[in-house]
Structure 1
Amino acid sequence: MRAILVDDEGLALRDLERQLTKIGGMEIVGTFSWAREALEQITRLKPDVVFLDIDMPEISGLEAAEQLQIIDATIDIVFVTAYEEYAIKAFDHAALDYVLKPIHSERLSRTVRRLQQHKPHLAKQTIKPVIATVRCFSRLQIEYGKSEPFSWRTVRSQELFAYMVYKRNQPVRKDILLELFWPDTDYKKAFTQLYTTIYQIRKSLEMAELNIRLTNSGTDYYLDLGNNHYDINDWEESRRELPELKPETAHLHLQWLEAYTGDYLSEHDYIWAENERQRLRDIWYNHALAVSLVWKEAGYRKEALQVYDLMERKLPFLEEIYFLVMQCHAEAGNLFLVNKKYEQLCMMLQEEFGIPPSLPVQQWIADLNK
């Protein structure tokens, strides 16, 4: 069943969309902050039901309902409002239901069932949306059950989508987007480019039949990933599910570390992504240190060295990791491997930065070889 949502309150609009998505049985084909915009899109979107707020500027929900009946009398209307006094007028406008704010899921579920009973043939035709995975480790990818890669219309639409995923589930002001993506463009032209880019993103998501909503609530945009997956969020959530870090559970923590397949959007030259990239890298590195320490203190040097090797592959230009390996070999009494690792450190620092190891490391290796 195809649905349009209209409410001039951005948070209320997003909450209604979230609850309907969770209940299921509805394909939300449009969300609007202004009734006029919704009315202009009725013929194109062909909704089966319109969820209407009543108290809205310019054109009220009651006035919009009158025009809807003229455009297509078969469209069901559900009024969603905070005011009980409109109920009688609402049903005078052939409303199928009248839902009071704040909306409770159980009450909204009854409305959905009533709609499905009113048009059972549409309920059976409802297509279950594709569950996609948005991946941002290394580079932006959307996996959506098809062999061909997700197609972006422009490089700018791809980056703007990546930024909205970063800011997911929170409003992002349009002026911030203009300053970030079109800082040197005339204000009017920048707005045109913003609207065009948003349109391109929506069309790409629509073509892939993804239940990811990019909504406009006047001064800002809001991205709702719905029930789709986001690899960064899943990775961080899975850390909270790990057992307490002990020698006997450290292998599970190592698996979590190995699931970090690359720095956040590292293959894209997005300046705004650097803070998030560093945050995630720090989380990974500090946990890797903790896992290696647990194994090292328990006498499992082979396992600790395995973690150091993983750390070096992820962060090949960090002197501290080389030094940790050297200390581990020194504690095992293997001076040959200590000096071999020191030589590798000297070579890496010279090739990459043109500098020798730090003075504390030089002093440590000198004292060890006395």
Structure 2
Amino acid sequence: MIKAVLVDDERPALRGLEFLLKKYPEILIIGMYTNPLKAIEEIGQLKPQVVFLDINMPQLRGIDAASSILDTSPDTDIVFVTAFDQYAIEAFELHALDYILKPITPHRLSKTVERVMQKKPIVQERGDRILQIKCLGCYKVAWENQEPIKWRAEKTKELFAYLLQNQGRDISKDELLDKLWEEDDPDKAIRQLYNGIYYIRKALEEYGVDRSLISISSNYNLKLGAVDYDVRRLYELERSNHADSLETLEEMEVIYTGEYLEGEDYQWAYFERENLGKLYQQCLIKLSRQYIEKKRFEKAESKLTKVYIKNPYEEIVTELLLKLYMETGEKSKAVRHFNSYSKLIKEDLGIKPNDKLYELYQSIK
């Protein structure tokens, strides 16, 4: 049974839609409103699966009402009903399930009901699966152990990545146009933005992703539910009360499978890529210290070598490697590393090792 709410400021239109929908035993009308403000207030408790909503109402524009409805009931589908078609683009930007022009014909309404019925079982079939969002290494959105979403275009894929990076905050239309379509004609850029949002929502819907997992508001605010998002998990661990525990650090290392949005040439992602890379390096350094304390020298050397390859100028890495080789009695390794490090910073930076490193090296020699 599909629970539906009808909203139209014209009572005859409301009754007419009710009459047409009562021919479908699958549809249960649980509320009818001529006042959209009252409808918004009660829909949060009713949690209907679909709302048939008039766009052109004097108290509140249907587009704005739909945005408020999705904020309070993100799993609800919106079907716009109106005598005017100039709102079509804006309606699809908000990701309406359908858009029906008045006067409504039984044939046209049957197509809408069919769409509602087709969508309902998708969520149920996917409900016990884990949706994974990977941005560290290969960028993809996929159900666990399934093929990932195939985006309609590269720009659609980039737009989703930008919304994801800025999840939880409202984003202005100007910001999106500036970041993703800076060199395009303004009118063309706006159309591409609207199309991009529409195709993101369409791709998520067709892949079976419920709005309780991923939703995008009319203010381009992307919100995540119970999904396995690697970047979010990495930050959660880094901010936790046990961030420096061995178990947490090891989990952080496992999560970081590659650079942020690796292989994607998104200029706006540069700083986040740098920040996450530094976080990963600090994680490896902390891990190596703990491994040295626990006499797990091979593991410590492995982590420090990884950091050295990524950032050979980090003095603490060379210091820890020299101390490790001192502990293990591997004098030749210490000498080779120090000489290699000294040559590198002289050629690249025109400097010598600091006094602390030099004294440590002398004590090993």
Q: Same fold (TM over 0.5)?
A: yes
Report the AA paired with residue 362 of structure 2: D
With over 3 angstroms needed to count, the CA separation of the structure-2 counterparts of 1:280 and 1:300, relative to structure 1, is: same
Report deviation, 1:343. Answer: 4.2
Which residue is 1:134 aligned to?
133
Which residue is 1:336 aligned to?
332
1:134 partner SS: strand
Which residue is 1:8 aligned to?
64
1:256 aligns with 2:255: no
1:175-196 deviation line (CA, Å, top 9, x unaligned): 1011111222222222122222
Which residue is 2:142 aligned to?
143
The match for 1:17 among 73, 76, 93 is 73
Which residue is 2:224 aligned to?
225
Which residue is 1:208 aligned to?
207
Report the AA paired with residue 325 of structure 1: L
- Distance of 1:221 and 1:256 partners within structure 2: 30
Report the AA paired with residue 345 of structure 1: Y
Q: How many aligned residue pairs are there?
A: 289
- Distance of 1:244 and 1:189 partners within structure 2: 47
8 Å contact kept, 2:237–2:248: no
With over 3 angstroms needed to count, the CA separation of the structure-2 counterparts of 1:124 and 1:70, relative to structure 1, is: closer
8 Å contact kept, 1:211–1:226: no
Which residue is 1:270 aligned to?
266
- Distance of 1:127 and 1:182 partners within structure 2: 34
Report the AA paired with residue 268 of structure 1: E
- Distance of 1:40 and 1:271 partners within structure 2: 30
Which residue is 2:235 aligned to?
236
Which blocks of at least 5 consecutive residues in structure 1 are unaligned? Answer: 22-27, 48-63, 76-120
8 Å contact kept, 1:326–1:338: yes
- Distance of 2:91 and 2:268 partners within structure 1: 36
1:183 partner SS: coil
- Distance of 2:120 and 2:254 partners within structure 1: 43
Which residue is 2:285 aligned to?
289
1:283 partner SS: helix
- Distance of 2:295 and 2:123 partners within structure 1: 56
8 Å contact kept, 2:288–2:303: yes
With over 3 angstroms needed to count, the CA separation of the structure-2 counterparts of 1:304 and 1:68, relative to structure 1, is: same
- Distance of 2:118 and 2:188 partners within structure 1: 42
Q: Which moved more, 1:151-160 or 1:129-138?
A: 129-138
1:322 aligns with 2:321: no
1:221 partner SS: coil
1:200-233 deviation line (CA, Å, top 9, x unaligned): 322322322222555452xx31223333331211
Which residue is 1:186 aligned to?
185
Which residue is 2:362 aligned to?
367
Which blocks of at least 5 consecutive residues in structure 2 are unaligned? Answer: 3-48, 54-61, 110-116
- Distance of 1:226 and 1:144 partners within structure 2: 14
Q: TM-score, normalised by structure 1?
A: 0.62
8 Å contact kept, 2:137–2:256: no
- Distance of 1:303 and 1:16 partners within structure 2: 49
